Amino acid sequence: MFSLFFRGLATGSIYSLTAMGIVLILSTTNVMNFSQGDMGMFLTFIAFILLMAKIPYLVTIIIIILMGIFLGFLLEKGLMSKVRKTSHIGMVMITLALTMIFEGIVGIFVKTPTLFPPAISGGPIIFGTIIMDRQDLLSLAISLAVVIILFLALYRTKIGIASRSLAEDEYAAKLLGIPVKNIYIFIWAIAFGLAGLAGIIVAPRLSLEPTFMLVIQLKAFIAAVLGGMNSVLGAVVGGLLLGVVENFVSFYIPQIKDSFSLILVVLVLLFLPQGLFGKRETRRA
Amino acid sequence: MLKIKNLHVGYGPIEVLHEISIEAEASEVVAILGSNGAGKSTLLKTISGILTPTKGSISIEDIVINGSEPSKIVKMGIVHVPEGRHIFPGLTVKDNLLLGGYFRNTEDNKKNMEFVMSTFPILKDRLNERAGMLSGGEQQMLALGRGLMGNPKLLLLDEPSLGLAPKITSEIFQIILDLTKQKEMGVLLVEQNAKKALEISDRGYVLVNGKIALSGSSDELKNNPEVQKLYLGGKNV
């Protein structure tokens, strides 16, 4: 029972990491980011090369996060900022194009699903009847740390608070002299940093191939909808919740294992379109 | 301090403002009057850099500012408090205020924060509340306070009385007047409530269909029969 819950939580933490990236981008730049998952896939592929070259795991993770941050910077500076004024749908198309580019590049080198080494090896940790996989524990711990760091950044730093203001009212943020362009860069950098991290954590459990993050991307969307689409906290809770519920469902009713999350998204949109943490207009007058 | 010369502004092919020339000095409240759609808000948006003029120039202390990014214009001391307040409802009152001083250093912000607290004591008790929970009047005070955090030389106020009870409007107008004298700040005041606006302003311009139809001291404008008829509730309105 607890093992099921725990496994679901670990899976959910990956959904959360990816969903946070999607929600951050959507709420501040208004772009539906389809490339969050495949950016993670691409970075995981780079991580694979680094690991094969005997670079230590921890160093690899750090390089991957930094690379994600750099790619986010590059994307905003080089592409998004140029397209923003002329075409909003163009920005969404760019994220779609990125998925194809990344899948294409990785597809050249990875023809068959390849096993990705886990960060820590060794058998599961067993307390009585509770069985916990080491990699699962690690992904939960890392996700928790990242959520805390991200929330500190968003609520305690100047640029974080400014990012939130941009998500609420771009016009007002501009009038206050907030350097909107830098904030877009900041947000894309964070999102793609998260993408790399999510990819490298989940890869050992799945296996490396060009489309291995597509399922995660889809589940992250659902987690984001569950959380209300514009709330980072919602994305975190939505991801964890989805992971846990999904794991229970697939254990007790395996027939609807794959369709469950899609049924869930329909139900949420029907009965709770604001999601769990969606912002209702609580403004007076 | 502020000099606008022969300004033309349009949205795409449609020109909204034609041949606007306006001046404003420090310690002075200048009212911009006009009916809906006369182009008052467009004028303020152009000064703060949201819109770019097609012709003409805007300068502050003899430095031309049109064509600059809003963030640069704010740094030069022109702060725009927009119509409808546009506070950040999900952020705390404190964060709202701090964002008003985004480009100022911590020390300035501390000083300006104290000043804002003394001007609007009501905000002090609600610093950690979400701004969306404030009443309309408090939100307007927050919007003003947030503008003051930028320590402006020139404050652009767009409809500060919108949706407020007369008593609160008077209170806010009195504060605006005091601030002007106290901080030697210029104020460009766009108002529908022409009567109140002319009470606290030194001079005024009347915008009709994107052109300046009339200008003069507020007393002159108050006694002008045309202004009385159109904006001050004369008999034929």
Distance, CA of A69 to CA of A185 (rounded, Å): 9
- Helices marked H in B157-200: 166-183, 194-200
Give the pLDDT confidence of B192-214 residue by residue, as tens digits.
888 899 999 999 999 999 999 99
The H or E element spanning position A130 is: strand A130-132
Cβ contact, residue pair B91, A279, below 8 Å: no
Q: What is the pLDDT of residue A131?
A: 81
**Cβ neighbours of residue A131 under 8 Å, at least 6 residues apart?**
A3, A124, A125
Cα A260 from chain centroid (whole Å): 20
Q: Which two tokens stand for residue A174?
A: 């501009």
Q: In Å, how far is B79's CA from the nearest CA of chain A?
A: 7
Report helix, strand or coil for B28: coil
Question: What would the 3-class secondary structure string for B126-145 be?
Answer: CCCCEHHHCCHHHHHHHHHH
Residues of A in contact with B89 (CB under 8 A): 168, 281-283
Dist CA A242 CA A132 (whole Å): 19
DSSP bridge pairs for B217: B203
- B203 touches B218 (CB < 8 A): yes
Name, in order, each residue with C-beta under 8 angstroms of A201's C-beta and a sequence gap of 6 or more.
A14, A17, A119, A135, A138, A139, A142, A143
Of the candidates B82, B95, B133, the beta carbon closest to that of A172 is on B82
For A106-127, write each residue's pLDDT tens digit: 999 999 999 999 888 778 888 8
One-letter identity of residue A142: I
Check pLDDT > 80 for residue B234.
no
pLDDT in tens, A253-280: 999 888 999 999 999 999 988 888 876 5
Q: Are A279 and B90 an interchain contact pair (Cβ–Cβ within 8 Å)?
A: yes
Find the mean pLDDT for residues A229-237.
92
A165, A171, A180: residue with CB nearest B99: A165
Q: Is the pTM of this model over 0.90?
A: no
B50 touches chain A (CB under 8 A): yes
Tell me which chain A residues have a C-beta less than 8 angstroms from the C-beta of B72: 177
